[in-house]
Amino acid sequence: MCKQEVRHRKDGAPKAPEPARESRFGRFKERSFGHALALAKTMHAKGWGAVVGSEKVKARLEAAGISDVVLEPGVAYENEILLNRARDCSESNFFVFVKFGTFKTTAFFTEPTNADEGRRLRRKQILRKRNVWRSSNKSWVENTTREIEDVEGRKARSKFFAVVHGHWGENEDIGRNRDDGVSLRKDVIRQFMLWHYDIDATGYHNWIHKEAIEDISAREDAVGIRKIPSLEFTMPFNEGSENGPHLNFWFRDLKVATWFWEKFIRDNKHSVMPGLAPNVRMREVLKATKKMRNDGDMALGVAHPSCILNVGIGRLPVGLLNLLNERDKNDEPKYNWKAIWTFVKVHADAVGLFNPTLEDYPLHFENGQTEAYFRRKVDVLVGERTNAEGGIMDDTDILEKGIGEQMKPNVEMRENSVSYAFARRMEEKFGKVLYMDHDLHIYGKTRRYWRLVSPLAYGRTAFTLDEAGMDKLRDSPLEGKDFVEMMHGKTFRGDSVVAGAETFLELEDGRLRPVAPRRDILYSLRTMKDKFLHAKLTVKLVWNDLRVHIGRMFTTSAGP
């Protein structure tokens, strides 16, 4: 260490040591930071916490008396202060992004209004952005605070948003991509924050990776989001098949999730394609999941009930309802409507209501009798719920009346419309929870604070706790077992919960789609690069899978 120089006054007495100089930004950025700091101090006085991306910003906030500051560069950038009204998870989240630059400071947040009131919001109402330039503007903090309080009040503190189906990039393990998501963890978490999500129950295709989930969980805990271990399981309903309906599995903790993956998937999945099924017996899997559900260890959801994927080399049916097209060796139907209903009744806790990432193909049936039967059944589903006579129909009634019209003979049926009708019926008949089936593989970036309406804003899965439940939440934060309980029985630690999907949907030319202000062309343009990366990854996965299959063919033909 260097010896500290002792300075003396003119009279010979030693001078008092000078206080450490506060680390400041450049002359221009310092003024912008001052606006951000003033807003952070104001919100801190109201009980809000802060997350920052640099030690320098953290030190400045703490020096200003802001005590609840967390450093998490895995989420926040160096020139940001991310504010949250409930970082301790004692109530639901509301996030405000604050960025300071050379010339201006920006506060950025979104509208959390529920589906009935929020269907027709304009872009500038959905995404609120308030700028102040470097010159002094004392009213900016006051006006921005007032607007934040007005908007955040529209999300009840007892109402929790969950995203329960989605995929991630940064998923390589032992030199292989284990999922078909492409977005960076930082971008995904920031999108969850922008749209005020409290619970992240997304997961990979047929894969549990302990280190990856722990990293995501640590970042999300820092900002106030709870991570629920999960995966999207491909159930091989036909013996030896590598394809089948996709199911969402949500686990109470990482230990249970890892146990399931190791027992049924790790050594049984031979395909390189993440979405193809492991070589397991359906009955053995369902026996295990039934016990796990009864023990409170997991909940099961039926993802995109009617869904056909275009994978480049063909169209792949991956919805439960697509089993109606399956035929046996005598060309007889392998599954009927009763079998599908029985599966949902016995084995499922929840059903996906709407999937914004689907191509939404017209349904095609290999057999005319199957199609006629299917139309009759779905028409009954919708018809039993829709009563156009007497009184004014609300948005849901109008949607379902329109969907009912699609089930008439010679009218084109669409995947999301059928899934919507099916999910509604499963809710009514068996009390299943409905969930917004985002299934995102590409998430937009939030660094530039552009008004881009993400599919995360097209709807969400929401849980509203009663006062007794909120008291229990204040005693201890929400855990994986609580999420499983809410999905399984619509209760939270024994108290009732209002659970279900909120959607922002409309019928347009006979198709069920997000309402117009949320179908964001700008978002599509800004994510074009990621779409290219996703297409490139898909080609890579298909090619690698083909190489593996060809290698096995030659190995088999060569014999011992």
Q: Are 242 and 318 in contact (CB under 8 A)?
A: no
At 548, is the pLDDT very low, low, confident or very high (cuts 50, 70, 90)?
A: low
Residue 327: count of CB within 10 angstroms of its CB: 13
C-alpha pair distances (Å), 453 with each of 79, 122, 297, 354, 462: 23, 11, 35, 17, 19
The region of weakest confidence among 33-37, 42-46, 328-332, 443-447 is 328-332
Question: Greater confidence, 24 or 35?
Answer: 35
Question: Greater confidence, 409 or 214?
Answer: 214
Give the pLDDT score at 550.
Answer: 66
Rounding to the nearest 10 degrees, give the CA dihedral for residues 255, 221, 177, 542: 100
Residue 405 has pLDDT above 80, yes or no: no
Q: Which two tokens stand for residue 333?
A: 């139907």
Q: What does the pLDDT look like over 465-494, one tens digit per residue?
A: 999 999 999 999 999 999 999 999 899 999
Please, what sign has the CA dihedral across residues 10, 13, 14, 18? Answer: negative
Give the pLDDT score at 427.
Answer: 92
Residue 436's nearest CA partner among 409, 411, 455 is 455
| Cα–Cα distance for residue pair 398/43, rounded to 1 Å | 42
Question: 334 by DSSP, 3-state: which?
Answer: coil
When the candidates are 3.20.20, 3.60.21, 3.40.630, 2.60.40, the CATH number that belongs to 160-539 is 3.20.20
Q: What does the pLDDT look like over 252-272, one tens digit per residue?
A: 999 999 999 999 999 998 887
Residue 145's nearest CA partner among 44, 43, 65, 64 is 43
Q: What does the pLDDT look like over 272-324, one tens digit per residue?
A: 788 889 999 999 999 999 999 999 999 999 999 998 876 555 568 899 998 88
Strands 176-177, 172-173: pairing kind: antiparallel
| Cα–Cα distance for residue pair 166/461, rounded to 1 Å | 13
Alpha helices in 46-137 (DSSP H): 55-63, 115-118, 123-126
Give the pLDDT score at 3.
Answer: 39
Query: What is the domain partition of the chain in residue ranges?
Result: 27-156, 160-539
| Cα–Cα distance for residue pair 350/352, rounded to 1 Å | 7
Strands 459-465, 127-133: pairing kind: unpaired
Please, what sign has the CA dihedral across residues 368, 373, 374, 379? Answer: positive
Give the pLDDT score at 13.
Answer: 55
At 404, is the pLDDT very low, low, confident or very high (cuts 50, 70, 90)?
A: low
Question: 66 by DSSP, 3-state: which?
Answer: coil
